[in-house]
Structure 1
Amino acid sequence: MTFYSIAKNTVKSILMPLYRIEVIGREHVPKEGGVLLCSNHISNLDPPVVGITSARPISFMAKEELFHAPVFGKMLKHLKAFPVKRGMSDREALRKGLQILKEGNVLGLFPEGTRSKTGEVGQGLSGAGFFALRTNAHVIPCAIIGPYKLFSKLKVVYGPPINMDELRSQKASIEETTEVIMSHIRKLKDEYR
């Protein structure tokens, strides 16, 4: 058993009952091939919650500062996370993300780049559109519907893959593609609220 699966099972046994997590649409995540999983961001608990509700291991992009914490930084590496420098184009992080997708794995992103203060889905940064257009990965929208309150229900909703062929044929820009992804997340949130 890997460190990832031990950590996942441990965290799952704690968070699932604490937040009464309901998972909807997990079957939309393809069992194989590259997957770009894009979720809204409302809490520091979002990465573990998405991680424990997905059937497949996820590599998350995480802000570089987290990797400087002595113990936590090492744990993040074992949990398949990798650093990204915020506020600039981080070529190394983009290369790593492309590699994960091209190797047929799951890349997890919170396109807003930071937690939403209002709980509403904000504007996405261009990274989501970049990965969606540069690879043949399945793009799966995910909505976390909170709030995170002990013993009250939290929903994690996975939507069907977003059709990228149409966007590619229209020669959509990275920004337009990101906005399409964000609109799918908003729709899920509105539908399952």
Structure 2
Amino acid sequence: MGRLSNKLYSVGQFVCRTYFRLFYRIKVEGKENIPSDGGILLCSNHIHLLDPPFVGAFLKRQTRFMAKAELFDAPILKRLLPKLGAFPIRRGMSDRQALRTGLKLLKDSEMIGLFPEGTRSKTGKLGKGLTGVGFFALRSNASVVPCAVIGTYKPFSTLKVVYGPPVDMESARENKISAEEATEQIMSGIQRILDENHH
């Protein structure tokens, strides 16, 4: 990441924070659960198009979001997304190139933001996670941090983001569990946050 990109990202974060604080009652919890260094896999539920900027706006570390390849076809986004650190993935996490890129970023101690469900939840309930997420968790030494967006994006309502304690992947890696099982453990971590914040 060049300095320009980081500067652009910081400006983007500032704009997003300002927007969210103007239009919603914002609560951010659990930032202390995000390690200050090393690779991180930040895995969140997905309820709205604005989830990526919301999940990343209040964190010190830059989040490199894995975004649907179609977004990179849009004229403005095509130039903007790479500058903001995002990288494309073709449908459904079976994109080898994207998996290689993601692993390299984690190895380089970057933080990757993922939405394991692969698509927005229509009901607000957490769906099934894609196996590729477990693949990242098992194939890297990254910390896996579950995250949940809670509330609604209706103007002036309360919108909360909670970063949970890292999911223990050490034993999963040692026991050579399947990527599917690893994904299930990560999804359980996200579900736990949702359950704890259920009103």
- With the length of structure 2 as denominator, give the TM-score of the two structures: 0.94
The verdict on how the C-alpha distance between 1:88 and 1:50 changes in structure 2, with shifts beyond 3 A counting, is: closer
- With the length of structure 1 as denominator, give the TM-score of the two structures: 0.97
**TM-fit CA distance, 1:166:** 1.6
**TM-fit CA distance, 1:159:** 0.5
SS of equivalent residue, structure 1 residue 60: strand
- Alignment of structure 1 residues 100-139 onto 2, 5 Å: 100-139=105-144
Could you tell me whether the CA contact under 8 Å between 1:25 and 1:159 is conserved in 2?
yes
Equivalent residue for 1:2? 7
Equivalent residue for 1:23? 28
**TM-fit CA distance, 1:127:** 1.4
**TM-fit CA distance, 1:192:** 1.4
Task: Count matched residues.
Answer: 193
In 1, the alpha carbon distance for the partners of 2:75 and 2:152 equals 30
- Alignment of structure 1 residues 1-193 onto 2, 5 Å: 2-87=7-92, 89-193=94-198
Could you tell me whether the CA contact under 8 Å between 1:53 and 1:156 is conserved in 2?
no
Say what the alpha-carbon RMSD is for the aligned residues: 1.1
Cα displacement string for residues 33-88 of structure 1 (whole angstroms, at most 9, x for unaligned residues): 10000000000000000110222101011111100111122111111001111046
Unmatched runs of 5 consecutive residues or more in structure 1: none
Name which of structure 1's ranges 25-34 and 81-90 shifts more when overlaid on structure 2: 81-90
Equivalent residue for 2:3? none
Could you tell me whether the CA contact under 8 Å between 2:93 and 2:131 is conserved in 1?
no
Query: Which aligned runs of 4 or more in structure 1 are off by greater than 2 angstroms?
Result: none
**TM-fit CA distance, 1:189:** 0.6
Return the letter of the residue paired with 1:125: L
In 1, the alpha carbon distance for the partners of 2:43 and 2:33 equals 13
In 1, the alpha carbon distance for the partners of 2:95 and 2:81 equals 19
In 2, the alpha carbon distance for the partners of 1:45 and 1:88 equals 21
